[in-house]
Amino acid sequence: MEFEELKIKSAVELAEILSEMEAELHTLRLKAANKTLKQVRKIPVVRATIARIKMLLGNKKSAVK
């Protein structure tokens, strides 16, 4: 997901996407451990997206205060 798309989402939507991405990361890691993952490059992409979402959530929380 692109950063610009994430910026316009609300905190609730970001939290939902975050939980989905964390579940996807877990699945990817399991597949990588079992040597069944064909798209190994997807793991760092998902990790980067999770980091972007967490950064946006932190910014939104600090903006509320």
pLDDT of residue 65: 67
**What's the pTM value of the predicted model, to 2 decimals?**
0.89
- Could you state, in order of their start, the residue ranges of all structural domains in the chain? 3-60
Residue 53: CB atoms within 10 A of its CB come to 23
- Can you say how many angstroms the Cα of residue 58 is from the centroid of all Cα atoms in its chain? 14
The series of mean pLDDT values per 10 residues for the chain, 65 residues long, is 90 96 97 94 97 94 77
Task: Give the model's pLDDT for residue 61.
Answer: 82
What's residue 45's pLDDT?
A: 96
User: What pLDDT does residue 48 have?
Assistant: 96
Instruction: Report the pLDDT value the prediction gives residue 13, as an integer from 0 to 100.
Output: 95
Do 43 and 1 touch, CB atoms closer than 8 A?
Answer: no
Report the largest interatomic distance among the alpha carbons of the chain, rounded to a whole angstrom. Answer: 46
